[in-house]
């Protein structure tokens, strides 16, 4: 016999599922790009939970694409090899040795995520932007400054990603690209995610990171912004009010929205299932970046 309390719980769970219905219908067959930041890969359980969320998206007919980082691991390995990590405007200054470390670390993070996906019953394929010449770059100059082997995305060839999606695989992509001379470059993972989302015509792009979202003033945790227009975000960037890892993230949110991605979110990847909450419920979480003329 079902107790009354149990029945309420069952009803509550059923309502949660029903709340997801319009979102599932709307996103069926659409591409959702998930940028999984190294800072949010806190522990094995959390990584497994994020992969379970992705598995659920896939099971309801959404086409997820994962683009991941691993900046903190690159820094850790650089230190181990006696190298100081240096950043300019949120981007790693990348010499030859750092480039080798980046490729090694990102490759290992990539295959680790593929294993998690497989362990939750989802077919996944790990690749870098080198595979199939998926990401073509030029050497990036920031404020005219050369910061080494840092790639500026020139183009994304979606052929290989599309083949994988069409054959039911989840592509797991690490941010390394090639220039026209087949020299490899380190790409900021936020930039890789935005470039891939735009090229694929993705419906959504979610950045899983280690903050609740974007704070207007990072020192003041009550200044969390739940939504910001690209115009307002551009103004903050121009005024130099965004720093550290948040600068490339916001810059790439802007370029994704301007490139046609309808919904771009910064989400707290340290909290289990924030991806599901954002996609399948009307609970506003994290920070939404939107085009001001669009009615939300």
Ligand X SMILES: CC(=O)N[C@@H](CCC(=O)OP(=O)(O)O)C(=O)O
Output the six-digit token pair for 281: 């419920």
Q: Residue 205, interface with ligand ADP (CB under 6 A)?
A: no
> Looking at 126, 129, 171, 175, which residue binds ligand X (CB under 6 A)?
175
Q: Residue 213, interface with ligand X (CB under 6 A)?
A: no
Q: Residue 210, interface with ligand ADP (CB under 6 A)?
A: yes
Q: Residue 39, interface with ligand X (CB under 6 A)?
A: yes
Residue showing the smallest CB distance to ligand X in the complex: 69
For residue 195, which of 126, 144, 258 has the smallest C-alpha distance? 258
Q: Residue 279, interface with ligand X (CB under 6 A)?
A: no
* Cβ nearer to ligand ADP, comparing 179 with 232: 232
Burial of 173 (C-beta count, 10 Å sphere; 0-12/13-18/19+): buried
> Looking at 39, 155, 162, 229, which residue binds ligand ADP (CB under 6 A)?
39
Binding mask 41-70 for ligand X (x = CB under 6 A): ----------------------------xx
* Residue 74 interacts with which of ligand ADP, ligand X, none, CB < 5 to 8 Å by class: ligand X
* Residues at the site binding ligand X, with contacts judged by CB under 6 A: 37-39, 69-71, 74, 91-92, 102, 150, 175, 186-189, 245
* Residues at the site binding ligand ADP, with contacts judged by CB under 6 A: 37-40, 69, 71, 190, 209-211, 214-215, 218, 242-246, 249
């Amino acid at each position: 016999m079902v107790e009354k309390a149990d029945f309420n719980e069952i009803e509550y769970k059923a309502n949660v599922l029903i709340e997801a219905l319009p979102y599932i219908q709307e996103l069926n067959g659409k591409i959702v790009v998930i940028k999984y930041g190294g800072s949010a890969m806190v522990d094995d359980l959390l990584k497994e939970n994020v992969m379970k969320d992705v598995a659920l998206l896939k099971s309801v007919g959404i086409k997820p694409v994962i683009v991941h980082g691993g900046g903190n691991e690159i820094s850790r390995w650089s230190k181990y090899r006696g190298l100081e990590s240096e950043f300019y405007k949120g981007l790693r200054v990348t010499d030859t040795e750092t480039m080798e470390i980046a490729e090694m670390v990102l490759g290992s993070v990539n295959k680790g995520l593929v294993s998690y996906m497989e362990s939750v019953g989802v077919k996944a394929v790990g690749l870098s932007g080198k595979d199939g010449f998926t990401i073509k770059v030029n050497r990036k100059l920031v404020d005219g400054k050369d910061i080494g082997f840092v790639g500026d995305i020139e183009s994304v060839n979606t052929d290989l990603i599309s083949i994988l999606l069409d054959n039911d695989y989840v592509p797991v992509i690490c941010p390394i690209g090639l220039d026209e001379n087949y020299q490899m470059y380190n790409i900021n993972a936020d930039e890789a995610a935005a470039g891939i989302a735009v090229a694929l015509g993705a419906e959504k792009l979610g950045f899983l990171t280690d903050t609740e979202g974007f704070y207007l003033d990072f020192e003041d945790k009550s200044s969390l912004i739940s939504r910001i227009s690209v115009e307002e975000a551009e103004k903050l960037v121009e005024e130099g009010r965004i720093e550290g890892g948040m600068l490339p993230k916001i810059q790439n949110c802007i370029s994704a929205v301007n490139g046609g991605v309808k919904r771009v979110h910064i989400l707290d990847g340290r909290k289990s299932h924030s991806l599901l909450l954002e996609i399948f419920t009307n609970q506003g979480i994290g920070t939404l970046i939107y085009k001001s003329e669009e009615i939300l």
